[in-house]
Structures are given as C-alpha cells and as structure tokens.
Amino acid sequence: MPEKNIDLHGSAPDKHRFALLLIDVMNDFDFPEANQLLNHARPMARILLRLKRRAQKAGVPVIYVNDNFGQWKSDFRRTVDHCAMQGRGRDVVKLLQPEESDYFVLKPKHSGFFSTTLETLLRYLETQTLILTGIAGNFCVLFTANDAYMRDFHLLVPSDCTVSNTKKENNSALRLMKKFLKADTRSSTRIVFHDSKGKLEQRSRSRRNRARSKVLTR
C-alpha cells in the first residue's frame, strides 16, 4: 500500500483544527419556494461573507460543499457559472463566489459526506471542528451536520449563517442540531477567530513554532 500523501499533491497544504463549510450557497434557486428562501438568503449572505473573511484572515480553510443539481457531467466551476449567470439568486451567488484559495466538493444528495471526498479532505486538513453554514438549514445543513456528528466532528452552526424557507423551520433545525448533535448554535459574531501567532512571538521567540491559529467562542 502506498504511503499517505501528506498534502494531496499540493492541493491541500492547509492544516487547521477548524474548517468553514459553505453548503449549497452556489444555487440557481430553481424551485417553487425559491423566492421565499431568497428573502432569508440575501441578508444571510452578507453576514456569511463577513464570517468567511474573518476565517480566511485566521487561516481557517474554507470549503464549498455544493449540490450538483443532478448535472452529472458538470463540474464545480460550471455550476458556479450557471448559478451566477442564470439563477434567480445571482446576487447571492456573486457575493459568495469561491476564490482560488477555497476548496470545493460536489455532492449528489443532501449530506456533504454522502458519496463525496469531503471526509478525506477534512482528514488531510486535520480538522476536528466544522463550522456549518448555508442553505437550507432544515435539509442539507442538517443532513451534513448529522453525518459529521457520526464521524466525531465537533460542530458549530451559527444561527445567523444558515436559512430555511421559514424562520420556524430554521429554528426547529437549529434546536435539533443543538440537542441531538451537540452543535453550538451561537451567532457568527460570537465566533472569535484568534490568530495567536503574533502575540506569542512578542512574548517569546522560542515559542514561535507552537503558535497556531485558534477559533474561540465567547
């Protein structure tokens, strides 16, 4: 058996205890309840973008976990282009478009783990805690959270970074994740990305190699 490649041929150089997952935010909103969902998705997208920027600054890997919408001959870039040009939620898609430093996983069903490479990627990243965000809270976020819990990941599901068709449905999903999956559902503003490297270097140069980015809650 070949030795484990520690960096996926250079494609996964990051290592971090935490990872931020954006679930199904690249979405064409081509379904009957789309307008109802968009009413919640638009304000959520702006909050999520701020969370993403803070995560990037702290060195936390950002992973887009996105449905393939049944397009088995498509790929992630084509999916993004389609949603940005033709979907009802083009403003949401353009606001949250992935960048070169982001990772992506295409999924065929609700859960980000079902028949995907997500678990393999997370193991290479040495991730222990997942920050789950996106659409919809009572379907794909919930199913992904369930499978993550079964794989012994710790969960953060910020209540202001996931939406469903209605607030009632979203709140119900958050309660389920908190009660049964032990998820922390505090708002994104209470997730503090703390890069301790600079502070530790100022205190003692000998401790430089021990400095790591951390995610704290308050």
Q: What are phi and psi of 156, to 5 degrees?
A: -120, 125
Which pLDDT band, with edges at 50, 70 and 90, does 195 fall under? low
Which pLDDT band, with edges at 50, 70 and 90, does 174 fall under? very high
What is d(CA 198, CA 36) in angstroms, rounded to the nearest whole number? 45
Q: Are strands 213-217 and 191-195 parallel, antiparallel or unpaired?
A: antiparallel
Beta carbons of 140 and 24 less than 8 angstroms apart:
yes
Percent of the chain whose predicted confidence (pLDDT) is above 70: 80
What is d(CA 193, CA 211) in angstroms, rounded to the nearest whole number? 14
Residue scoring higher pLDDT (2 or 89) = 89
Which pLDDT band, with edges at 50, 70 and 90, does 218 fall under? low
- Global confidence as pTM: 0.84
What is d(CA 155, CA 115) in angstroms, rounded to the nearest whole number? 21
